[in-house]
Amino acid sequence: MKFCASYQVQCWQTVLCSEIASFLNPQIVSGHCNRNLLIKEMANPEINRIIDQIERLHNNNNWVGFNLYEILDGITDNSANLKLPDFNHTIHQIARHLVTDFVVIRRLQGIDYKLANEENWIPADKIYFKWTDTVDAIKENKNEIICELQKLSDESLDKPILKDFSNIYVNLHGYIQHSYYHFGQIVLMTKFIENLRK
């Protein structure tokens, strides 16, 4: 066996751990390498690329250049619920709308979850969540969708996510695109609020 000191794991010599470590999941590199899990990772390169894009969405290793968690964690309840001129929704409304992306997770689990209109866009005066609870829900969605992706194979990406729906690949990239759009709104609104308070 070959010892990969940089990740403190023992890997079979046939596995090129130094080359694949850049896209391995933290859960795998934190302990002893499971050869079957490593082979599965290598066998599903497209799934791993999608997971990588989701990870990049949530940290600052992306082309838009912002760290989402730093921005969300820096927003107060007051700022999140502030009604701004020229914006149709508050930051909190947009964030709660993003939480509804759990629908993609449910579809991956085979559940055809139907959102009610008020669940999709909660009126500003009916948001009773703490801002930190909303941020936690966004983070949890990210973790859950990655967990579901790890159960899939590349071959499954072309299959409908549910009967009569578009395929899994389209839904996953739709989730990423939808997130970037609304996260961009949140960033603009936080900058707007900063300028108001100067």
Whether 44 shows a pLDDT value over 50: the answer reads: yes
The domains located in the chain, with CATH, are: 1-43 (no CATH), 45-196 (1.20.120.450)
Percent above pLDDT 90 for the chain: 66
Confidence of residue 118 (pLDDT cuts 50, 70, 90): confident
Tokens 């046939």 found at: 14
pLDDT at residue number 40: 55
Residues 6+ apart with CB under 8 A from 99: 134, 137, 138, 141
CB atoms within 10 A of CB 165: 13
pLDDT digits (tens, 9 = 90+) for 149-176: 999 999 999 999 999 999 999 999 999 9
Q: Which pLDDT does position 23 carry in this prediction?
A: 46
The C-alpha angle 62, 65, 68, rounded to 5 degrees, equals: 80
The per-residue pLDDT for 108 is 96
pTM here is 0.77
Please say if the pLDDT value at position 4 is more than 70: no
